Each structure stands twice: as C-alpha cells, then as structure tokens.
Amino acid sequence: MRIALISVHGDPILQAGGKDAGGMNIYIREVAERLVDLGIDVDIFTRMHDRHEEIEEFSNNFNVVYIKAGKESLDKLGIYSHLDIFVDQVDKYRKASNKIYDLIYAHYWLSGVVALKLKKMWNKPVVTSFHTIQDIKQEAFPFNIDNPVRGKEERYISKESDSLVVWSNHEKKFIEDKFKINSANIEIIPPGIDVDLFKPSDKSEARKMINLNQDIKTILYVGRLERLKGLDTLLEALSQLEQKDINLLVVGGLYNLEEVSRLKRICRNLDLDQRVHFLGSVTRSELKYYYNSSDVCVLPSYYESFGLSALEAAACGVPVIASKRGGLSSIVLDKKTGYLLQWRCPGPFVDRLETLISNKGLRETMGRAARNHAMSLSWDKSINQLKDLFNKLTLN
Ligand code: UDP
C-alpha cells in the first residue's frame, strides 16, 4: 500500500514548540515512521516555506516532498488561495515518479481541501484528521482570527471524506452533532506515546542535566506559546500560591513575540519575574529531562484536541493538572493521575497545585498511575487501528 499524506502547513521534520510546529507535526512524523515499519510506503507532501525552526532528527524512512505553492514567507492564513497550485504540483510529482497512491490521508482543513481535489483526480479514498476545528476553537477563544471560509470547508470535508480520524470522544460528538456526520464514518484513534523515550528517571540526575537547582519545587509547562494555551491562568494561580519558592519552567518557542511580551507583562504585574523562566523550545530528546525534573506538569489550555505534552509528562511518571477540555480528559484521569479542572479559573489550579506541591507521597502515587495509564496508550495500538481502517477503505 502507498499513502499520500498531505500536511500543507505542517512540516513534519521541524522541531516542535515553534510556529506551526506542535502536536500535529509530531503525530505525522510518528505515524509515517511506524506505517513505513509495517511495510506501507508513505510520501508526505508539505508546502515549501521559510524555516524558522531547527530540523528535528528523524528516521528518514519516509519521503517528504516539498511543494512550491505561494511565497515561502506566507503564513497559514494566506495559503488557501494557493491550494490549487499545491494540488497540481502533487499530481505532477505523482506522474513524474510514476507512483499510484492507494489512499490520501489529510491533516488539518487546508490539507482536507487538497485531498478532496486529489480524490476527484485519482479516485482514491480520503481520510481526514482535522486536529483542530474552527467552531470549537472559536468557542474557546472568540478572538481567534481565521480564514472566513474555514468553517464551511470543514463541513464539506466532513461530508466528503471517506473517513474522519479524531483523537477524542469530544471531537467525535462535535462532528456528529454539529456537522451531522454518521458516527460510522468517524474513528477515534488517539496518538500513542513513545514510552521508551518518555519514561521515569532519577529526578536529581535529570535536574543536573538541565542545570536546575536540586531543592526548588518546580512546575512545568510545555507547548507553543499561544493564547489558547491559557498560560495566563497558570500565572495567576502561581501568584496566589501561599508558598513562594516555587519555579515555573515554560518550555516552548518564543516565536510569538506579541504573546511572549503579554505573558512577561503579566509576570511583572504579578511579581513573578524571578520565578517564571521562559526557556524557548527544546528538542524531544532533551524534553525528557524537563519532565523528569518537574514536580508537576500543568496544561491550562482553553482547548486541546489531544494534548501530547500531558501524555509525555504522564509517561515520565509526573502528575498532570489540566483543564477539562477536549482530549485532555482521556489523558488525565481525574484524582488518579492528576486533576482535571474548570478551564480559565485560577482558583481550582491554586487548590490542586497546593495539594500536590505539599504532598510528595501523593505525587508519587499519581505519578505511578500516570505512567501506567500512558503505557496503555501505545503507538502499536493506534497504528494497527489506522492500518485496519486503511485496509478496509482500500479494499472497496
Ligand atoms: N514540544 C517540543 N519542544 C518544545 C515544546 C513542545 O518538542 O519546546 C512538543 C511536545 O513535546 C509535544 C508537542 O510539541 O509533543 C506539542 O503538542 P501538544 O499536543 O501538547 O500541543 P499542540 O502544539 O498540538 O497545541
């Protein structure tokens, strides 16, 4: 079987944590590598773009084809009007390389638009994963600026794709109810986690690796710095904690200058400058030291379609406090592996942070449960489910 994997704006080999490089990029890379291991050929088509981030090491067993469509400096918002060129270039590549694709797997709505045009030309099934859906994002953060056609396109893609792969029951229900899609056309296949890369290790050794003081209590946030991630809720909560000698490490690219300066202003206003450390983005092989150095990991997002970083923390045996939003509810088991809280409300975050920070035994118990839960979310399971779906669709 040969798959054309379309990721118009998400270059799978970029280091995550920067602009347009987050959970989706990691997912695409991990899935492609594992499908190839199962004997499936994967070509990933992505737009040629200005690179702001480093390239992450990857196994290079899959083929990334860079497609010229619009200026390389264009951002996500400007790409839509260049999608026809993208489609033509993908087809040109197919003809020149004499390849036949059995299935098209699209990521994000822009890629869904491309995939459905290719479907008309190639007459092959399309599977789409939205990763985020505009209406859900808009509800979580009404000031979000997006392409005005996105909502309409997402409805169309939902109807015309042969199958939709979602990561959580929340997303499935939303598509069923709002887009009126039959549940048989929606598969919940969450990502897995590399439990060999992300595993518990000695905290003191991990702290040495990142030059972190051995004694200070440490809260960790890992992710892109976007308003939707709700870091302001966490800063507010940190300022209200009775105990003041607690650090917050913020790991994630500093590309969004407006958001970074807004967050730093909040830190100044709350007198947190000395306690909050903006560290920029970190490679995945270093990230394990950050997780293993922390006492608790917090993901206070307004919305997450999944929340890979929460799963990575759990796999390292670290309790996670997260908002009860989207996919986070399947990663954090409330009161067992951490806490799921009302979003955008600092109060509950203060309470739960105080509970965990002051109770080492509870942190350890929850950390062990978190690791066990992460072990049950293996990549093998996800990839076999994807493979079964692809086999079913290509048999017809
Ligand atoms: N990440 C990383 N380096 C960083 C910050 C984040 O490799 O400096 C990775 C992180 O490990 C996770 C992904 O980026 O795998 C973020 O995915 P998540 O689902 O948490 O958030 P998204 O970016 O999709 O909103």
Give the pLDDT confidence score for residue 59 in this predicted structure.
67
Give the pLDDT confidence score for residue 377 in this predicted structure.
92
Give the pLDDT confidence score for residue 328 in this predicted structure.
95
Question: For residue range 370-380, what is the model confidence (pLDDT) as tens digits?
Answer: 999 999 998 99
Given a cut of 80, whether residue 396 has pLDDT beyond it is no
Distance (Å) from CA 21 to ligand 1 centroid: 8
303 contacts: CB under 8 Å, gap ≥ 6: 132, 136, 137, 139, 140, 141, 228, 325, 326, 343
Rounded mean pLDDT, 383-387: 97
Please give the Cα distance from 317 to 299 (Å, whole number): 16
Cβ 70 vs Cβ 31: under 8 Å:
no
Distance (Å) from CA 37 to ligand 1 centroid: 24
Question: For residue range 109-155, what is the model confidence (pLDDT) as tens digits?
Answer: 999 999 999 999 999 999 999 999 999 999 888 888 899 999 999 99
Given a cut of 70, whether residue 55 has pLDDT beyond it is no
Given a cut of 80, whether residue 60 has pLDDT beyond it is no
- In the numeric block, the tokens 């929850």 are attached to 366
Beta strand 2-6 with 103-107: parallel, antiparallel or unpaired?
A: parallel
Distance (Å) from CA 341 to ligand 1 centroid: 21
Given a cut of 90, whether residue 202 has pLDDT beyond it is yes
- Closest Cα to atom 24 of ligand 1: 23
Helix (H) or strand (E) holding 350: helix 346-357
User: What is the average pLDDT value for the chain, to the nearest integer?
Assistant: 94
- Closest Cα to atom 21 of ligand 1: 23
Q: Which band of pLDDT confidence, cut at 50, 70 and 90, is reported for residue 15? A: confident
Residue percentage of the chain with pLDDT more than 90: 86
Please give the Cα distance from 110 to 244 (Å, whole number): 45
Cβ 303 vs Cβ 35: under 8 Å:
no
Q: Which band of pLDDT confidence, cut at 50, 70 and 90, is reported for residue 19? A: confident
Question: For residue range 297-349, what is the model confidence (pLDDT) as tens digits?
Answer: 999 999 999 999 999 999 999 999 999 999 999 999 999 999 999 999 999 99
Residue percentage of the chain with pLDDT more than 70: 97
Ligand 1 probe mutation, 26, 227, 277, most atoms within 8 A of CB: 26
Nearest atom, ligand 1, residue 306 CA? 19
Distance (Å) from CA 100 to ligand 1 centroid: 33
Ligand 1 probe mutation, 309, 325, 331, 379, most atoms within 8 A of CB: 309
Give the pLDDT confidence score for residue 16 in this predicted structure.
82
Q: Which band of pLDDT confidence, cut at 50, 70 and 90, is reported for residue 264? A: very high
Give the pLDDT confidence score for residue 53 in this predicted structure.
65
Nearest atom, ligand 1, residue 299 CA? 20
Given a cut of 70, whether residue 182 has pLDDT beyond it is yes
Distance (Å) from CA 394 to ligand 1 centroid: 32
Distance (Å) from CA 388 to ligand 1 centroid: 27
- Ligand 1 binding pocket (C-beta < 6 A) is 16-17, 22-24, 26, 222-224, 251-252, 281-282, 284, 287, 306-309, 312
pTM (2 d.p.): 0.94
Rounded mean pLDDT, 224-235: 95
Give the pLDDT confidence score for residue 18 in this predicted structure.
75
Give the pLDDT confidence score for residue 56 in this predicted structure.
65
Q: Which band of pLDDT confidence, cut at 50, 70 and 90, is reported for residue 176? A: very high
Distance (Å) from CA 224 to ligand 1 centroid: 7
| DSSP string over 19-36 | TT-SHHHHHHHHHHHHHH
The per-residue b/e assignment along 260-285, b for 16 or more CB within 10 angstroms, e otherwise, is beebeebbeebebeebbebbebbebe
Please give the Cα distance from 329 to 305 (Å, whole number): 10
- Closest Cα to atom 11 of ligand 1: 309
Higher pLDDT, 18 or 54: 18
Q: Which band of pLDDT confidence, cut at 50, 70 and 90, is reported for residue 57? A: low
Nearest Cα to Cα of residue 82 among 67, 70, 66, 65: 70
Q: Six-digit token pair at 44? A: 């990933």
Distance (Å) from CA 117 to ligand 1 centroid: 30
Given a cut of 80, whether residue 63 has pLDDT beyond it is yes
Q: Which residues pair with 217 in a beta bridge?
A: 246
Given a cut of 80, whether residue 1 has pLDDT beyond it is yes
Distance (Å) from CA 307 to ligand 1 centroid: 8
Given a cut of 70, whether residue 246 has pLDDT beyond it is yes
Nearest atom, ligand 1, residue 284 CA? 7
- In the numeric block, the tokens 């990721």 are attached to 7
Q: Six-digit token pair at 263? A: 């967050």
